[in-house]
Structure 1
Amino acid sequence: MQVFIMVAGVFTGSHVWQETAERLVAAGSAAHAVPLTGLDPARPATSAHVGLETHIEDVIAAIDAVDATSGQEIVLVGHDYGIHPVLGAADRRAERVARVVYLDCGMPQNGVPPLAAVPDQALRAQLAERAEAGEREGVLAPPGVDEWGRWGSTAGVGEAALEQLTALAAPQPLGTLFQPLRLTGAVAAVPVTGVLCARNGARIDLVQRLVDFGDPALAVLTEPQVTFFELPTGHWPMLSCPDALAEVLLRASTGEGHRLRPVGDDAPAPAHLRPFPLDVPELPGDRQGHVDLYVPDGDGPRPAVVFVHGGPVPAGARPRPREWPTLVGYARLAASEGMVGVTLDHRLHDVGDYDRAAADIAAAVERVRADARVDSDRIALWFFSGGGLLTTDWLARPPAWLRCLAASYPVLAPLPAWGMAGSRFHPARAVDQAGPLPVILLRVGREAPEIAATVDAFVSAAEECAARLELVDVPGGHHGFETIDPPEETRPALERAMSSVVAHLTG
C-alpha cells in the first residue's frame, strides 16, 4: 500500500489537498497533507524565524510518523515551492521514500534557494534585493484573488475555489524563500515522476526538446527511474481536477508514466537535427564572431536575411543553434535566392534571458550590416518559436533599413509559467507601432493550444491596427514543421514565405 505525503506551494496550507486525498483514500491508499509551520493553521510558528529547514523538518516528521515495519511505500508529492522541503526531507530519509513526485514545479539544485523558482521575474528581482540588503525575516503577502496568475495559470480553477484559495492563503515567511536547499546527493537514488500542467505552459514534448538539445545536465531526465505525466489544466490541479490528479499519482506510484528518449548514437535524430526539407546548395558559412554568413557568389553588396533561433536553449546544448540543419538550410535557401543568409547564436538559455538575447541580436545585426558584402539598407529578420518574443523591439521601433520581419510558429506573448506579465517582450502590444513594416507570419494548424492562443491574440491586434500582416498557413503543420512533417505538405508554405521576404528586400 502507498502512503502519499503531499506538500503544497507558497501561501497555501494542507487544505488544498482535501479532494485529492479523499480520492486516494477511496482507492485504498493512505494520504497525508503536511501542514507547514507558519503557513498552516494546524502548525503555527513557535519562533520568529521560519525557514526552509523548518519545513524540511515538517516533512521529515511526516515520514517518520509512518511505521517503517508496515511495508507501506512512501510517495512524496511536492507542488510548486513544496518540492523544496520534499527534496530536503527525501535526501535525509532516502531509504524510506519510494518515489518523489514533482507536481508542476522546477528542478531545485543543491545550494540554490527557492527564491530562484519564483516565477514572476520582477517580484523575484525585488526579493533578491531585500535578501542582499539583509532583510531575511518578515513575510511576503499572499496574492489577491486577481493576482494568482503571477504564480501560475489558474485555468480550470472555478471562481468559488479561487476565492477560497485567497481567503485561506497565508503570508509566506521570507526565510523559506531565501534559505538555500542543502542536499547530500542521497535523493538522486530515489525514483522520480514529473507531473506537468499543460495550461501552465509545461508539456512533455517541450521537455523532450530540451533533452534533445544535448545538454549533459538534462541527461538525468532520460534515466529509467524517471517518468512523466501531463495534465490538461493550470498550475493548481488539486483544485481544478482532483480526480485526474489522484489517478496520475496512483499510476506514478507503481512506476507508470512516459519515459523520455535519450540522446545517443542509437537514438533517432531529434527534430532540430534532421535534414532541411528543400534542396539547397552546400554553401559554406563564413564565421564572424557569433554570426555565420552564407554569401552567394557574385558581386555585392546584397540584401541579408538574419535567422533568429528560438528557445530557451540550454547553455550546454551541442551543436549550437546556428549550426542546426534547419537554420543552415534557411540561410542557404536565402543565398540561393541571391541574398546573404545569416545564422547566429544568442544567449536565451532561460526565460529570464530575453533582455540579453535581444542585445545579442541587435549586436549581430549591426555586425552583419557592417559587412561589405551586405547591403546595410536591406535587411530582413526571421524569428522562430520562443524567439518570437524578441520581435517586440523591432515591431515597436522598426528602423528604415528593416524591410520586413518574418516569424515561424512563434510564441507571441509570454506563457503563464514564464513569469513575464510585466515584461516589455509582448509582440501583440507592440504591433500597433510597426507602421508600414511588412510582417510575414507562418502559422501552423497543429500548434500547442497555449502557443496558438498567443498567435491568435497577435493576429487580432494586427488586424485591429491595420498592420501589414501576411499570413502563411500550414494547416497540417506542427511546431518545427520543417523537419517533422512530410515535405510535400509543408514545402509550398516555406517557399511562399521565402519568396515574400525576398520580394520585400528587392522590391
Structure 2
Amino acid sequence: MTVFIMVAGVFTGAPVWRETAELLAAAGGEVHPVPLTGVDAGRPAAPDRVDLETHIADVTAAIDAVDTASGREIVLVGHDYGIHPVLGAADRRAQRVARVVYLDAGMPRDGVPPLAAVPDQDLRAQLAERAERGETEGALAPPARDGWQRWGSTAGLSDAALDRLTALAAPQPLGTLLQPLRLTGAAAAVPVTGILCTGNGVGIDLVQRLVDFGDPDLAALAGPHVTFFELPTGHWPMLSCPAELADVLRRAAAGEGRRLRPADGAGEPPAHLRPFPLDLPEVPRDRKGHVDFYVPEAEGPRPAVVLVHGGPVPAGSRPTPRDWPTLVGYARLAAAEGLVGVTFDHRLHDVTDYERAADDVAAAVELVRADPRVDADRVALWFLSGGGLLAADWLTEPPAWLRCLAASYPILAPLPNWGLTGGRFHPARAVEQAGTLPVVLLRAGRETPEIAATVAAFVTAAEDCGTHLELVDVPNGHHGFETVDAPEETRPALLRAMRSVAARLTA
C-alpha cells in the first residue's frame, strides 16, 4: 500500500486536498493531508511562533506516524510552498520516504528561503526588504478572490472552485517564507516526480530545453530516478481536476512518468544546437566584446538587424546563445540580404532578470549603431522566444532609427508563474504605443497554448490600434521551429520575414 502524505501550498491547508484524497483512498491508498501549524484551523498558533522549521516538524511527525514495517511506502507530495517542508522532512527521514512529488513546485535549494519561489516579484522585493530590517513577525494576508492570479494560473478553476479556494485561504506566517531551508543532501537518492501544470506556464518540453542548455545545476533532472507528468490546467489541480491529479499521483507512486534526456546523452543533439534550415554563405564573424557582427561584402555603412535571443537561459550554459546555430543562421541570413547581422549575449538567466537584460539590449544597440560599418539610422530589432518581453521598451517609445521590429515565436505577455505584474515587460500592452513602427511576426502554428495566448493578445491589440503588423505563419511550426521542424516547413517563412525586414530597412 502507498501512503500519500500531502502538503498544501501557500495560504492553503489540508482541506484543499479533500477530493483528491478521497479518490486516492477509494483506489486503495492511505492518505494523510498534513494540517500545518498556524495555517490550518486544527493547529492554531501565533504567527510569530511559526516558521519553516515548524512546518517541517509537522511533516516529519506525519512520516513518523506511519508504520512502514508492513511494506507500506511513503510518498511525500508538496504543492507550491509545500515542497519546502516536504524536502526538509525528507532530508531528516530519507530512509522512510519512497518518493517525493513536486506538484507544480520549484526546485528549493539549501540555504534559500521559500520567499525566493514567490512568483509576484514586487511582493517578493517588499518582503525581502522587511526581512533585511528584521521585520519577520506577523503573517501575510491571503489574496482576495480576484488576486489569486498573482500566485499562479487559475486556469481550469470553476467559479465555485475559486470561491472555495478563497474561503479556505488563511494567512501565511511570514517566518515560513523568510526562514532559509536547510538540507544536508541525505535525500538526494530518493526518487522524484515532477507534476507540471502547463496552464501555469511550464511543460516537460520546456524543462527538457533547460536541461539541454547544459547547466550543471539542472543535470539531476535527467537522472534515472526522476520522472515527469503534465496536467493541462492551472496552479491548483486539486481543485480544477482532482480525478486527473489522483490518477497521476498513483502513476507517480508506481515509478511511471516521462524521463528526460541528459544534456550530454548520445544521439541527436539538443534542439538549440541543431543546424539552421537554410544553406547560407559563410560570413566571417567579427567579435567585439559580447557582440558579434556578420558583415556583408558591400560598400558603405549598411542597415543592421540586431538579434535578441530568448530565455531564460541558465548562466552556466555552454555554448552561449550568440553561438547557437539559430542565432548565427539569422545573422548570416541578414548578411545574405545585404544587412549587418548582429548577435550578442544578454543576462536573462532567470525571470527576475528582465531589467538587466533590457539594459544589455540597450547597450548592445548603442555599440552597434556606433560601428562605422552600420547605418545608425537604419536598425531593426529581432526578438526570439522569451526575449519577446524585451520588445516592450522599444514598442513603447520607438526611436526614429528603429525602422522595424521583428519576432520569432515570441512570448508577448508574462506567463502566469513569472510574477511580472508590472506593465513594463508586456508587449501586448505596449504595442498600443508603437505608432507607425512596422512589426513582422513569425507565428508558430503549433505553439504551446500558453505562449500562443500571449501572441493572440498581441495580434488583437495591434489590429485594434492600427499597428503596421505583418504576420508570417509557419502553420506546422513548433516553438523553436528553425531547428525542431522539417526545413521545408520553415525556409519560406524565414526568407519572407527577413526580406520583409530588409525592405523596411532599405526603403
Q: TM-score range by the shorter chain?
A: over 0.9
Contact 2:444 2:474 in 1 (8 A): yes
Equivalent AA in structure 1 for residue 349 of structure 2? H
**CA 1:404/1:88 → structure 2, altered by over 3 Å: closer, same or farther?**
same
Question: 3-state SS of the aligned residue for 1:68?
Answer: coil
Alpha-carbon shift at residue 265 of structure 1 (Å): 5.4
Which residues of 2 match residues 10-409 of structure 1 at below 5 A? 10-45=10-45, 48-264=48-264, 266-409=266-409
Structure 1 residues 265-289: Cα deviation after superposition (integer angstroms, max 9, x where no partner): 5131111101111111121211111
One-letter identity of the residue aligned with 2:498: M
Equivalent residue, structure 2, for 1:450: 450
Give how far 1:13 is off. 1.0
Match of residue 470 from structure 2: 470
Separation in 2, partners of 1:111, 1:403: 48
Change (3 A) 1:119 1:399: same
The offset of 1:202, in angstroms, is: 1.2
Deviation at 1:169, TM superposition (A): 1.1
Runs of 4+ in structure 1 displaced over 4 angstroms? none
Query: What does the per-residue CA deviation read over 1:327-383, in whole Å, with 9 as the maximum and x for residues that have no partner?
Result: 101101111111110001000001111100000000000000111111111101100
- Please report how far the alpha carbon of residue 298 of structure 1 lies from its aligned counterpart in structure 2 after TM superposition: 3.3
d(CA) in 2 for partners of 1:482, 1:17? 43
Q: Check the 8 A contact 2:2/2:30 in 1, yes or no.
A: yes
Residues matched between the structures, number:
507
Q: CA RMSD in A?
A: 0.9
Q: For 1:394, what is the secondary structure of its paired residue?
A: helix
Q: How far, CA to CA, are the matches of 1:265 and 1:2 in structure 2?
A: 33
Q: Which residue of 2 aligns with 1:420?
A: 420
**Alignment partners' CA distance in 2, 1:8 and 1:485:** 40
Normalising by structure 1, we get a TM-score of 0.99
SS at match of 1:196: strand
For the 8 Å contact 1:293–1:340, the answer to whether it is kept is yes
Deviations 1:130-167 (CA, angstroms, capped at 9, x unpaired): 11111011010011011011100111111112112212
TM-score by length of 2: 0.99
* Alpha-carbon distance between aligned partners in 1 of 2:224 and 2:168, rounded to the nearest angstrom: 40
Q: 1-side partners of 2:153 and 2:226: how far apart?
A: 25
Q: Does the 8 A contact of 1:261 with 1:267 survive in 2? A: no
What letter corresponds to residue 429 of structure 1 in structure 2? R
One-letter amino acid matched to 2:267: A
Distance 2:37 2:177 in 1: 14
Residues 257-312 of structure 1 show CA distances to partners (whole Å, capped at 9, x for unaligned) of 00001112513111110111111112121111111001112322111100110010
Aligned partners of 2:271, 2:48: CA distance in 1, in Å?
A: 53
Alpha-carbon distance, 1:9 to partner? 0.5
| Rounded Cα–Cα distance in structure 2 between residues aligned with 1:306 and 1:132 | 40
Q: Could you say what secondary structure the match of 1:304 adopts? A: strand
Once the two structures are superposed, what CA deviation does each residue of 1:399-432 show, in whole Å capped at 9, x if it has no partner? 0000100000100000001111224100111111
The Cα shift of 1:46 comes to 6.2
- Alignment partners' CA distance in 1, 2:481 and 2:116: 34
Q: Is this contact kept in 1: 2:47–2:137, CA < 8 A? A: no
Q: Letter of the aligned partner of 2:60 in structure 1?
A: I
SS in 1 for 2:108: coil
- Pick closer, same or farther for the CA change 1:499–1:108 going to 2, 3 Å: same
Quick one: structure 1 residues 329 and 113, their matched pair in 2 at CA, closer, same or farther if it must change by over 3 Å? same
Give the percent of matched residue pairs that are identical in Structure 1 and Structure 2: 77
Whether the 8 Å CA contact 2:285–2:294 is kept in 1: the answer is yes
Q: Distance in 2 between the 1:47 and 1:482 partners?
A: 53
Q: Does the 8 A contact of 2:201 with 2:417 survive in 1?
A: yes
